[in-house]
A and B are shown apart, each in its own frame.
Chain A
Amino acid sequence: GNSVTQMEGPVTLSEEAFLTINCTYTATGYPSLFWYVQYPGEGLQLLLKATKADDKGSNKGFEATYRKETTSFHLEKGSVQVSDSAVYFCALSASNTGKLIFGQGTTLQVKP
């Protein structure tokens, strides 16, 4: 079946450090892939997405590339800020349904 695995958190970084949050998936067909972010006390909001292999999604300095050969969609940012502190969820779309399959979430803490 479809599944998403994210690296365990929390991830603690200093401001301006490089960020990588790993995400791998198992899916049939050709799912779309997403990264959602949840700031404290808020709902999830889309950070970026990629709909086919080799696509790169990007937003607010974050990037992720859809790698079909390694079934991965790792999230990266070159220089994190304190304001990036949040929970990040990797997700894939389940074919022929409206459902998203979410990873367990990774908490990022950025210290000044």
Chain B
Amino acid sequence: DAGVIQSPRHEVTEMGQEVTLRCKPISGHDYLFWYRQTMMRGLELLIYFNNNVPIDDSGMPEDRFSAKMPNASFSTLKIQPSEPRDSAVYFCASTDRELSYNEQFFGPGTRLTVL
């Protein structure tokens, strides 16, 4: 398996623009997680899905952030409009809870810079 795939790897945009981050989890995994990592706040869980259904979005910072999982092999995290304080590395992770004891497999991340 190729592991968790994220795109793009780097994104530079201007304030006010819409940004869409994409994630393909490992095939067969039933949980998908979106995290944000910054120097100031560390690693934060934004939202997670189980069988394509959002379970907990309490970490989503504000209404400008939204996430979807239309099928088992694809998820998006959208920021509209983007702001400079959204600059961070965004990670996607997936797991098969029954087989993996909650071990999460992380993607390489998307480094977002909002100017």
Residues of chain B touching chain A, judged by Cβ–Cβ distance below 8 Å, are 4, 30-31, 33, 42-43, 45, 48, 50, 55-56, 91, 93, 95, 97, 101-109
Contact partner of B106 (CB less than 8 A), chosen from A45, A98, A105, is: A45
Listed by A's residue number, 14 A-B pairs whose Cβ atoms lie within 8 Å are: A32-B103, A42-B108, A43-B108, A43-B109, A45-B106, A49-B101, A49-B103, A98-B30, A98-B48, A98-B50, A98-B102, A98-B104, A99-B33, A99-B48
For residue B44, give the distance in angstroms from its CB to the closest CB of chain A.
Answer: 9
Contact residues in B for A43 (Cβ distance below 8 Å): 4, 91, 106-109
| Known contacts A93-B102, A105-B42; is-contact A98 B91 (Cβ 8 Å) | no
Interface size class of A (residues with CB under 8 A): 20 to 34
Q: Does A44 sit within 8 A of B, measured CB to CB?
A: yes
Contact residues in B for A99 (Cβ distance below 8 Å): 33, 45, 48, 56, 102
Question: B108–A104 contact, CB under 8 A?
Answer: no
For residue A81, give the distance in angstroms from its CB to the closest CB of chain B.
Answer: 23
**A93, B100: Cα distance in complex, Å:** 11
For residue A32, give the distance in angstroms from its CB to the closest CB of chain B.
Answer: 4
Interface secondary structure of B, over-half rule? strand
Question: B91–A32 contact, CB under 8 A?
Answer: no
Shortest beta-carbon contacts, A-B, top 8? A93-B102, A98-B31, A43-B106, A32-B101, A44-B106, A43-B108, A98-B97, A43-B109
Q: Does A25 sit within 8 A of B, measured CB to CB?
A: no
Contact residues in A for B45 (Cβ distance below 8 Å): 99
**A94, B97: Cα distance in complex, Å:** 11
Most buried by B among A94, A102, A105: A102
Question: B95–A98 contact, CB under 8 A?
Answer: yes
For residue A78, give the distance in angstroms from its CB to the closest CB of chain B.
Answer: 25
Contact residues in B for A89 (Cβ distance below 8 Å): 43
Contact residues in B for A82 (Cβ distance below 8 Å): none
**A104, B57: Cα distance in complex, Å:** 21
Contact residues in A for B42 (Cβ distance below 8 Å): 102, 104-105
